[in-house]
Structure 1
Amino acid sequence: MNPTLIAEMMAALAAEPRIRAIQALVRAGAKGVPAGDLARWCGVAPSTMSFHLTQMREAGLVESRREGRTLYYLANLVSLEALGRGVMTGFCPAAVPALDPLSTTLPGDPAMSADDRDQPLNVLFLCTGNSARSQMAEAILAREGAGRFRAFSAGSRPRDAVHPQALAVLRRAHLPVEALHPKTWDAFAAPDAPSMDFVFTVCDDAAGEPCPVWPGQPMTAHWGVPDPVAFRGTDAATAAVFNDTFRMLYNRISLFVSLPLASLDRLALQRRVEAIGAMPRDPEVSEPVEIATSA
């Protein structure tokens, strides 16, 4: 995991009530815990606990689910495990192979084969226009995958060119952009197309469209993030929206490349990639807002 993301997550945990809250949420599991109960257990005011939960939610460590009028909070186990692995890799690398508390692999279960681990895994990112989010994801994974993954992107109705702001944010991150161009997703369903191991949709529209049949039966998940191209505002505001989109994709991909693929069976891995996609969208970004401009 990238050190910047590790630092952000650790900073979000840097208070005793937050540690106690995370411990309680992990013990509670999928049923979650209301914020009021967490406040009582941790001995803080409800407003203080709401602040702590907001900080941990923004860092991707906590999720929420509403049932009626009650908001339940849950620990994001994928993020917590990735944080643990990221820290252990730096301080005690010999212990990392044994650090897999969420694995459901049992003797005889089919984990990823040795051949799969020796060859780069192909990952396809999809959105409708293939002009911003999927292009950013392709560029991010191409670098963060460090040779273990090969990244591709495509769209159901590709635009004519990559959005200039998407190219700008990638250049600011020192990522190469020369080879990026919109592509139709039909090209990746052809018999001679590379066989995909993972296919992720990064926009809600593409997730709802009938997809081609991908060769090789790849694992799929929806990693939707708000569309920065829909935003209308000043140049500075538009750049900020694209920066936020890049950050959300970067955080998810950092978690993905940190997964212990060799020790996970297919069901466990499917749950992990779906959990990454279910991470709360950045509350500071939400959906891009259309701003009316004078004629």
Structure 2
Amino acid sequence: MSQRHASFTLMSRPFDYVGNMDVGQAVLGFMALGQETRLELMRTLLVAGPSGLAAGDIAARLGVPASTLSFHLRALEQAGLVAATRHGRSLVYAPQIAALRALVAFLAEACCGGEPDRCGDLNRLFDTGRETARMQPPVFNVLFLCTRNSARSIMAEAILGRIGEGRFRAFSAGSDPSQDGPLPEVLQQLKALGHEVSALRSKSWDALTGPGAPRMDFVVALCDTLAGQACPDFGDTVITAAWPLPDPAKFSGSPPERATLLNELYAALHRRLSIFTSLPFGTLDRMALKARLDELAQPQGLARA
């Protein structure tokens, strides 16, 4: 088996393996899976994928009491096969795919006396080179919120739509969307900077909730308060952040001063989103991603991120 180096930071303790997985780590992993509820729990998390599931959702799907579920989750955590991150009041558990692959590959490292081609279909499970070549990076849905959805969130949607094309889908909405649509000067600025603006609209966040709406991975609020309203529930697995920025609609300066403000807003959003799109999403867990997004709210965070 090829050299491996991975580290999983769990809520309970760090689990690390460097190089080939040793017998003790393999025994720990197989013991954790060698129980009916835990095996079904692992299969449930694998269906959910990297976004994971909240503990309450897991309990409901498996039909087990919370105390029983906690016991089994702890066993899988200690084996490094799942990791937990906190989202609000909920703990969200996600499968650790690399650790699970290493565990199963431990059985096949000496497959057919060192001639893995003789192992047929079994060998394909561990042909990571071929798998990596055909894998596509995940596409993340990102929603930008502000009260009127007429300036800041419109800018962010346009910027991420261009610099994150192919890896991110950008959306924007508001709690009280402007009936007049995006500010004309915002659209003019975006168009002058080479953005396509024909699809940009002011819309209510109600259009992005409900069973038919796309599931959001990230929700970023761009104002201090959303007209005194609480954000709608976008699900337990969404990662949220707040990047408060001044509202151009409330700025009453001269035309040159307004132009300066719009330029500064555009530059601030472009810097933040350029850093956001370059984050190593494959190696950061939910808590780490949340921390990095929160850092970007502060000017000093731009230099650190």
TM-score, with structure 2 as normaliser: 0.54
CA distance in 2, matches of 1:227, 1:113: 43
Which residue is equivalent to 2:139? 120
Distance 1:281 1:168, change over 3 A: farther
CA distance in 1, matches of 2:9, 2:189: 38
CA distance in 2, matches of 1:112, 1:221: 25
Q: Does 1:211 align with 2:211?
A: no
Distance 1:141 1:207, change over 3 A: farther
Which residue is equivalent to 1:191? 211
1:165 counterpart letter in structure 2:
E
CA distance in 1, matches of 2:243, 2:287: 18
Which residue is equivalent to 1:272? 292
Q: Residues 54-89 of structure 1: CA distance to partner in whole angstroms, max 9, x if unpaired?
A: xxxxxxxxxxxxxxxxxxxxxxxxxxxxxxxxxxxx
Q: Residues 150-204 of structure 1: CA distance to partner in whole angstroms, max 9, x if unpaired?
A: 0000000000210011112211210110000101011111210000000000011
Which of these residues, 148, 152, 156, is aligned with residue 167 of structure 2? 148
Q: Does 1:220 align with 2:240?
A: yes
Contact 1:126 1:155 in 2 (8 A): yes
1:232-247 alignment, distance < 5 Å: 232-247=252-267
Which residue is equivalent to 1:32? none
CA distance in 2, matches of 1:241, 1:128: 18
Deviation at 1:248, TM superposition (A): 0.8
Contact 1:156 1:206 in 2 (8 A): yes
CA distance in 1, matches of 2:236, 2:210: 12
Q: CA RMSD in A?
A: 3.0
CA distance in 2, matches of 1:264, 1:207: 33
CA distance in 1, matches of 2:291, 2:232: 23
Deviation at 1:205, TM superposition (A): 1.8
Deviation at 1:216, TM superposition (A): 5.8
2:198 counterpart letter in structure 1:
E
Distance 1:238 1:191, change over 3 A: same
1:183 counterpart letter in structure 2:
K
1:75-94 alignment, distance < 5 Å: none
Distance 1:175 1:104, change over 3 A: farther
Q: Residues 85-121 of structure 1: CA distance to partner in whole angstroms, max 9, x if unpaired?
A: xxxxxxxxxxxxx9xxxx958543458979x973310
Q: Does 1:173 align with 2:193?
A: yes
TM-score, with structure 1 as normaliser: 0.56
CA distance in 2, matches of 1:258, 1:144: 10
2:158 counterpart letter in structure 1:
A
1:39-118 alignment, distance < 5 Å: 107=15, 108=80, 109=83, 110=94, 118=137
Aligned to 2:145, what secondary structure does the other structure show? strand
Contact 1:207 1:222 in 2 (8 A): no
CA distance in 2, matches of 1:278, 1:122: 23
Aligned to 1:137, what secondary structure does the other structure show? helix
Q: Does 1:202 align with 2:196?
A: no
Which residue is equivalent to 1:158? 177
Deviation at 1:281, TM superposition (A): 10
Matched residue count: 182
CA distance in 2, matches of 1:111, 1:250: 33
CA distance in 1, matches of 2:183, 2:221: 18
- Does 1 or 2 have the higher relative contact order (CA < 8 Å, sep 6+)? 1
CA distance in 1, matches of 2:252, 2:95: 46
Which residue is equivalent to 1:255? 275
CA distance in 1, matches of 2:232, 2:168: 22
